[in-house]
Amino acid sequence: MKKYNFGAGPSILPQEVMKATSDACVDFNGIGLSLMEISHRSKDWQVIMDEIDVLFKETLGVPEGYSVIFLGGGASLEFCMVPYNFLEKKAAYLNTGVWAKKAMKEAKLFGEVVEVASSADANYTFIPKDFEVPADADYFHITTNNTIYGTELRKDLDSPVPLIADMSSDIFSRPVDVSKYGMIYGGAQKNLAMAGVTFVVVKNELLGKVSRQIPTMLDYRTHIDKGSMFNTPPVVPIYSAYQNLKWIQRQGGVEAMAKRAADRAEVVYGEIDRNRLFKGTANEEDRSYMNICFVMNDEYKDLEKDFLEFALGKGMVGLKGHRSVGGFRASCYNAMPIEGAKALVEVMKEFEAKH
């Protein structure tokens, strides 16, 4: 049976990316040694680091004056590194979910945090639109895709201060005007690679402005200066990102990823809205293309477990919603083919016919 992985993260990757990565884990570049055992200072590895820098910048459209680095620690460590490196007095945050809240919690250790708006009272079912960013904030932090609640900000905001975005779960799913951001970061394990590496895109001129001392490993400049190799980098996850970026380019780049995402979303949301058993949880205008959240209509609430089991039996894996939303979450990241979305719809229709 063909299985489709709708898990929210770690998540689906293209078969050919996993294949190329596992091949390299056995024999890297035909050198008779595994990627896992060679020195990160070896020439063969340096070539990958040089190429991924070019590939990443090309694919996302990163302009001059920005650096791309690969770190450990996940997006969660960035919640602390961002204020460490940028927060002198005060920072603005848009509270659109659990991840945004976690980022705010860390920032409060470094200075004043202004929550410009929040949708917490509505269980984060929408993205606030009316807010003002204080002109004297050191930066404005947003989460472009709220993985847990299935809301997404698919445009690049204008901000009077440097805009910093957690793009963990929507990176490379659409064209982004990087020049509008001071920094973009995310854990790789949703849309880019296997778990174990964090990407950071940072505007160089914003660095070195805070007055505090920054521990070496937490200072972005350390990693920029050393090309992400100040210490031993997570070579296998980076290699999987490298393979996936090549895959994204072969598909036609971020424009093609955006088309795929829109097509999948149309198919799945279309069925949620049509099917009498289900309803979506996020406000329509803020619906995420990446994490499609839905629940059973009230009169069918008892069928929730049955549907999960039924869907699993048909090869639909990882559909259980996050506990703070309940119901179901069909994560449709870059690698999810339209066939996966269509297969899910078939399962929803079959289940409806049974009830």
Q: How far is the CB of 32 from ligand PLP (least distance, A)?
A: 33
Helices 74-86 and 98-107, interaxial angle, to 10°?
40
Contact 248, 59 (CB under 8 A): yes
Residue 168 interacts with ligand PLP (CB under 6 A): yes or no: yes
Nearer to ligand PLP, 106 or 166 (CB): 166
CA angle (238, 243, 248) in 5-degree steps: 120
* CA 305 to the chain's CA centroid: 28
Q: Which of 70, 93, 99, 307 binds ligand PLP (CB under 6 A)?
A: 99
Q: Is residue 75 involved in binding ligand PLP (CB under 6 A)? A: yes
Q: Which residues are annotated as a binding site for L-glutamate?
A: 41
Q: According to the binding rule CB under 6 A, does residue 124 interact with ligand PLP?
A: no
Residue type, 20: A
Cβ-based nearer residue to ligand PLP, 190 or 203: 190
Asked about 263 being catalytic, the answer comes back as: no
Q: Considering the complex, what minimum distance in angstroms separates the CB of residue 327 from ligand PLP?
A: 18
Binding span for ligand PLP by CB under 6 A among 58-66, 70-78, 130-138, 301-309 = 70-78
Sign of the Cα pseudo-torsion (113, 109, 118, 181, in order) = positive
Strand pairing partners for 186? 199
Q: Which of 119, 147, 173, 191 binds ligand PLP (CB under 6 A)?
A: 147
The mark string for 197-216 relative to ligand PLP (x by CB under 6 A, - otherwise) is: --------------------
9 is a site residue for ligand PLP (CB under 6 A) = yes
CA 272, CA 284: separation in Å to the nearest integer? 12
Q: Is residue 355 within 8 Å of 303, Cβ to Cβ? A: yes
Each residue of 65-75: b (16+ CB within 10 Å) or e?
ebbbbbbebbb
Cα–Cα distances (Å) from 258 to 13, 62, 238, in that order, read 16, 17, 23
Give the ranges where 120-214 is alpha helix by DSSP (H).
none
* Residue 166 is a binding residue for ligand PLP (CB under 6 A): yes
**Segment near ligand PLP (CB under 6 A); pick from 38-46, 161-169, 225-233, 338-346:** 161-169
Catalytic residues: 99, 166, 190
Footprint on this chain of ligand PLP (rule: CB under 6 A) = 9, 74-76, 99, 143, 147, 166, 168-169, 187, 190
